[in-house]
């Protein structure tokens, strides 16, 4: 891990720890650097403000599973990782959800779901001649649905097990993406 990555990681962990007790809008840069033994100058070398650090956390810590190849056969595992990250970082994510930093969580969820779906749509469409705008419609339809389910789960106190949610989503998704792509295909 590079020195810069290590420094960012220290700041990220400090912010997450602060958010266990304090809403993000009440956390100062001084609080963050005091929590990890760094200087304000070091913070500003890497980030403009607390919200940029928050965005970095979601982009770099939470999206690890995006580095995995998105395949139709393992789509459930990918989405399950999102639920597990949120569950493991419950207080942090809920504080983000209930703050002006909510857009960072939503952006993470949108980028995660969208990227994963694009890979799946590309795989399923395979040899079909599906116009790109039709593939985009499929991705744009399912992405907000996934985000809404995650949001409702969080708002409801995360009582349902992530595995149960993924299985329920599977009933809705399995086969429907392929059916839509076949309908959109020019060579049907």
Q: In terms of pLDDT, which residue wins out, 65 or 112?
A: 112
Q: 167 and 119: one domain?
A: yes
Q: 98 and 138: one domain?
A: yes
Interval 74-114: pLDDT, tens: 778 878 888 888 898 899 989 988 887 888 888 888 887 88
Q: 111 and 179: one domain?
A: yes
Distance CA 160, CA 52 (A): 31
pLDDT at 172: 85
Q: Phi and psi of 56, rounded to 5°?
A: -60, -40
Tokens (6 digits) for 95: 């504080």
Contact call for residues 40 and 30 (beta carbons, < 8 A): yes
Residue 113 three-state SS: helix
Number of domains in the chain: 2
Interval 26-60: pLDDT, tens: 999 999 999 999 999 999 999 999 999 998 888 88
Q: 51 and 6: one domain?
A: yes
Alpha helices in 69-161 (DSSP H): 75-88, 90-97, 102-125, 132-155
CATH of the domain at 20: 1.10.357.10
Q: 86 and 50: one domain?
A: no
pLDDT at 186 over 90: no
Q: 140 and 81: one domain?
A: yes
Q: 87 and 121: one domain?
A: yes
Contact call for residues 32 and 4 (beta carbons, < 8 A): no
Closest alpha carbon to 46 in 106, 38, 92, 61: 38
Contact call for residues 180 and 139 (beta carbons, < 8 A): no
**Structural domain containing residue 148:** 63-188
Which residues, in sequence order, are CB contacts of 68 under 8 Å at separation 6+? 74, 78
Confidence band of 62 (pLDDT split at 50, 70, 90):
low
What average pLDDT does this structure show over 118-133? 91
Q: 52 and 67: one domain?
A: no
pLDDT at 181: 94
pTM for this model (two decimals): 0.79
Distance CA 172, CA 166 (A): 10
Which residue among 15, 39, 57 closes a domain? 57
């Amino acid at each position: 891990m590079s020195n810069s990555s290590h420094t960012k990681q220290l700041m990220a962990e400090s912010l997450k720890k602060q958010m266990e007790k304090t809403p993000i809008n009440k956390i100062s840069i001084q609080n963050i650097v005091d929590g990890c033994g760094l200087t304000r100058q070091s913070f500003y070398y890497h980030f403009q403000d607390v919200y940029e650090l928050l965005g970095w956390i979601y982009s770099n810590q939470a999206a690890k599973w995006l580095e995995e190849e998105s395949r139709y056969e393992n789509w459930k595992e990918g989405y399950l990782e999102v639920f597990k990250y949120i569950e493991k970082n419950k207080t942090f994510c809920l504080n983000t959800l209930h703050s002006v930093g909510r857009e960072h969580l939503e952006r993470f969820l949108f980028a995660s779901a969208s990227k994963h779906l694009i890979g799946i749509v590309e795989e399923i469409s395979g040899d079909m001649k599906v116009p790109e705008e039709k593939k985009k419609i499929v991705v744009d339809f399912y992405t907000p649905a996934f985000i809404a389910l995650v949001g409702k789960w969080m708002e409801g106190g995360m009582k349902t097990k992530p595995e149960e949610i993924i299985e329920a989503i599977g009933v809705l998704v399995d086969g429907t993406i392929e059916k839509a792509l076949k309908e959109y295909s020019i060579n049907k």
